A = this chain, B = another copy of it.
Amino acid sequence: MHRTHTCGELNINDLGKEVTLAGWVQKSRDLGGMTFIDVRDRYGITQLLFNMDEDPSLCEGARKLSREFVIKVSGKVVERTNKNPKIPTGDIEIKVSALEVLNPAKLPPFLIEDETDGGDELRMRYRYLDLRRNPVRNNLILRHKMAQEIRKYLDNQDFLEVETPVLIKSTPEGARDFVVPSRMNPGEFYALPQSPQTFKQLLMVSGFDRYFQIVKCFRDEDLRADRQPEFTQIDCEMAFIEQEDILNLFEGMIRHLFSTVKGIDLGEVPRMVYADAMKYYGSDKPDTRFGMRFVELNNLVKGAGFPVFDNAELVVGINAKGCAPYTRKQVDELTDFVKRPQIGATGLVYLRYNQDGSLKSSVDKFFNEDQLKAWAAVFEAEPGDLILLMAGPTDKVRKQLNELRLEMGTRLGLRDKNKFAPLWVIDFPLLEWDEEHARYHAMHHPFTSPKPEDIELLDSKPGEVRANAYDLVINGTEIGGGSIRIFEKSLQSLMFKHLGFSPEEAQKQFGFLLDAFEYGAPPHGGIAFGFDRLVSIFAGLDSIRDVMAFPKNNSGRDVMIDSPATISDDQLKELNIKTTV
């Protein structure tokens, strides 16, 4: 061992000890007669003292050290005259008697400090240096702790962690697969799993009863800021359970995580049916850190001659508490916000409830004060509030107002990263209409079971069939989702039929699962959490990138190792493939 202690553990109780430390030079200060060096490792920082009078050559050596040199020092623990109460080692320093440079360092391309001057591109290229920074490393320490606690909790609940294969088979449903040419089976390909869905269901058929895995999954999608081609799921499945059991058990897991990792009692997780989430928040993942619920106004606004309202399927609004003083400019900003192409609204109607009790709206022409008072009443508005209204086709206007609500939440500081508002959204629709392909597809996946009481609607009103499916949402982000699964061959075949599979296609793609259901499949269900996302919420980050050690950029590249890259002709030949570019 190149050290007797880490750089984070020595304190006043160690005075007089002869110790050896190793680490990186964080900074040095040369005060003429004395040179101070801060040496850093994962565990902390310790101050080193070199005295010119006592050992000039040693001190000269210390003066030559630059940032990020790797050094090993021996010396005695002494009390500091100038203590630093901010760090655990701040009461002591090491009076160095021997110094060895284990490895020198070039000047890093950016500052290795909590706040760095390195841009994204540079930090990713030198990710190994970026990972030296406390905030980045702390995210990964947090991730480690969370993974440990998740495993502890699930192990205590009799879950077995079972590794499912990474080299599986491509299926046309869902997102694009990454594929892997098989050398031994020319012309054939493996696919990397988008999730271990079918394998975990087979483990239930096998009687494993409770399965989990913290597992890498893969999706070849066009990457947005917050997507990665490889990501990690906490994947879980249970047999002989009902939805209620899953909600309770995994609510327990999330509460355990908050309590052990963050010391927060999350409390009971409220539940909301999908239909209400859409009605009151315009989203299946409402941010419930703040209220500002939607209020529908159709019965108050129709027939007044204002065509935008009269022609709209839905007129709906929110009450921005205390925003009546907003200037014209501020209100215009909000109008511009909802008119941006990403949101696509045609306009915004406001009703200002002034502090003096008077009402002022952008549609005064069409509505008298009594009418406006009635609006204010349904919003439970008080003097000082600003009511914002939008109108249009129901689904569209809800989505638009959701964006505005979130924007107002941000402007009003209601989306505190240190506050955590969890929510179960339940009773999702089974099927979702796909405009592009003019057919229904599974909202969750094809293995989700319809609610038994809704099965009869499958033929007549497929869009109204509710599923035994649920999402866990925290602060407006979906962090997990799951369902009770179909476990009978006949119902699964019916489901495939409704999704447009021919019996032959269904058998070719999922024959092994349909077969398995004939040999004694138990009722089962499960859930999967996006682990990267969950960690990022715990870390208070907007992106999942900084909770991954080596993320890829938006083109799917790892700029540090310069991957992907071309491969040799010999490799291509052995794999029986050619590139066409």
Report the bound CA distance from A40 to B206 in whole Å.
12
Q: Is A140 an interface residue (CB 8 A)?
A: yes
Residues of B within 8 A of A229 (CB): 167
Binds B, one of A129-137, A312-320, A459-467: A129-137
Q: What is the bound-complex CA distance between A199 and B548, given in angstroms?
A: 13
Count of A interface residues, CB-CB < 8 Å: 123
Expressed in whole angstroms, the minimum distance between the Cβ of A328 and any Cβ of chain B is: 45
Q: Is the CB of A208 within 8 A of B131?
A: yes
Please state if B488 and A206 are interface contacts (CB–CB under 8 Å): no
Question: Which chain B residue lies CB-closest to A573?
Answer: B580
Contact with B along A536-580 (1 / 0, CB 8 A): 000000000000111010011110111111111001011111111
B565 x A170 contact (CB < 8 A) = yes
How far does the Cβ of A72 sit from chain B's closest Cβ, in whole Å?
A: 8
CB-contact partner of A68 in B176, B519, B550, B565, under 8 A: B519
Chain B's closest residue to A231 (CB) is B163
Q: A98-106, A297-305, A436-444: which one contacts chain B?
A: A98-106
Which residue of B70, B105, B242, B557 contacts A2 across the interface (Cβ within 8 Å)?
Answer: B242
B241 touches A2 (CB 8 A): yes
A336 contacts the other chain (CB 8 A): no
Are A129 and B519 within 8 A (Cβ)? Answer: yes
Residues of B near A555 (CB, < 8 A) are: 184-185
User: Which residue of the partner chain B has the closest CB to A238?
Assistant: B1
Interface residues of A in 1-35 (CB under 8 A from B): 1-3, 6, 22-24
A40 to B139, CA, bound (A): 44
- Find the B residue at minimum CB distance from A168: B563
- Please indicate the chain B residues that have their CB under 8 angstroms from the CB of A337 in the complex: none
A122 in the interface (beta carbon within 8 A): no
CB-CB under 8 A for A208 and B519, given A185-B556, A565-B169: no
On chain B, the residues within 8 Å of A206 by CB distance are 128-129, 131-132, 137
Per the bound structure, the CA–CA distance linking A242 and B129 in Å amounts to 24
Q: At the interface, yes or no: A188 with Cβ under 8 Å from chain B?
A: yes
A218: Cβ under 8 A from any B Cβ: yes
Chain A positions 279 through 314: 1 when the CB is less than 8 Å from some CB of chain B, otherwise 0: 000000000000000000000000000000000000
A567 partner, pick from B137, B147, B189, beta carbons under 8 A:
B189
**A520 lies within 8 A of chain B by Cβ:** yes
**CB <8 Å contact, B182 and A180:** no
Within the complex, what minimum Cβ distance (angstroms) separates A75 from chain B? 17
- Nearest CB of B to A422, in Å: 23
Q: Name 25 A/B residue pairs within 8 A (Cβ), A-sorted.
A: A22-B240, A22-B522, A24-B520, A40-B207, A43-B209, A103-B520, A103-B522, A127-B202, A137-B207, A137-B208, A162-B549, A167-B229, A169-B565, A170-B565, A180-B180, A181-B181, A182-B564, A184-B222, A184-B223, A187-B581, A198-B561, A203-B549, A216-B216, A512-B561, A573-B580
**Top 7 A-B pairs, shortest CB-CB distance:** A105-B520, A131-B206, A169-B563, A188-B564, A182-B564, A68-B520, A2-B240
